[in-house]
């Protein structure tokens, strides 16, 4: 079974597109580290000028994905995680007829705490 991955972030307005580049870099790191062949990056903010979740799913299905995993790059379980993303996924399942699952948000993970601690130490 071909599995497609969507790395989903919030995104910034197109006028500060360099902020969106970080998610693209992170997606590439995930692709390389895991050897994912079918991986797309998507942005929740329609003002980002970047592909949204539907565009990413459409591309993955067109590439042969039979199952799609949405990997949200969100720290907290906010409104996007609780309402927006599940509603979008439900609609996309009906539209494309593929299985789509959403991974958990990042949460208060010790790996994130380690990164923040490292950033603090860099300026002490």
Rounded distance between C-alpha atoms, residue 83 and residue 102, angstroms: 12
Contact between 65 and 3 under an 8 Å Cβ cutoff? The reply is yes
Average pLDDT over residues 93-112: 97
Give 16's pLDDT tier (boundaries 50, 70, 90): confident
Residue 35 CA from chain centroid, whole number: 17
Nearby residues of 74 by Cβ (< 8 Å), 6 or more positions away: 9, 10, 80, 81, 105, 106
Contact between 58 and 96 under an 8 Å Cβ cutoff? The reply is yes
CATH numbers and ranges of domains, the chain: 3-123 (3.40.50.1400)
Checking if the pLDDT of 14 tops 90, the result is no
Nearby residues of 100 by Cβ (< 8 Å), 6 or more positions away: 57, 67, 68, 69, 70, 89, 92, 93
pLDDT, tens digit, for every residue of 48-82?
A: 999 999 999 999 999 999 999 999 999 999 999 99
Q: How high is the pLDDT of residue 105?
A: 97
Nearby residues of 68 by Cβ (< 8 Å), 6 or more positions away: 3, 4, 5, 6, 57, 60, 61, 98, 99, 100, 101
Give 15's pLDDT tier (boundaries 50, 70, 90): confident
Give 38's pLDDT tier (boundaries 50, 70, 90): very high
Checking if the pLDDT of 34 tops 90, the result is yes
Average pLDDT over residues 32-59: 97
Predicted TM-score (pTM) of the model is 0.94
């Amino acid at each position: 079974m071909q599995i497609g991955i969507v790395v989903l972030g919030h995104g910034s307005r197109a006028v500060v597109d360099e902020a969106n580049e970080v998610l693209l870099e992170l997606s590439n790191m995930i692709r390389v580290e895991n050897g994912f062949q079918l991986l797309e990056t998507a942005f929740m903010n329609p003002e980002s000028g970047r592909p949204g979740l539907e565009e990413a799913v459409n591309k993955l299905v067109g590439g042969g994905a039979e199952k799609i995993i949405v990997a949200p790059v969100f720290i907290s379980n906010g409104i996007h995680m609780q309402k927006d993303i599940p509603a979008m996924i439900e609609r996309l399942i009906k539209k494309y007829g593929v299985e789509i699952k959403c991974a958990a948000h990042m949460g208060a993970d010790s790996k994130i705490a380690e990164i923040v601690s490292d950033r603090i130490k860099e300026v002490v």
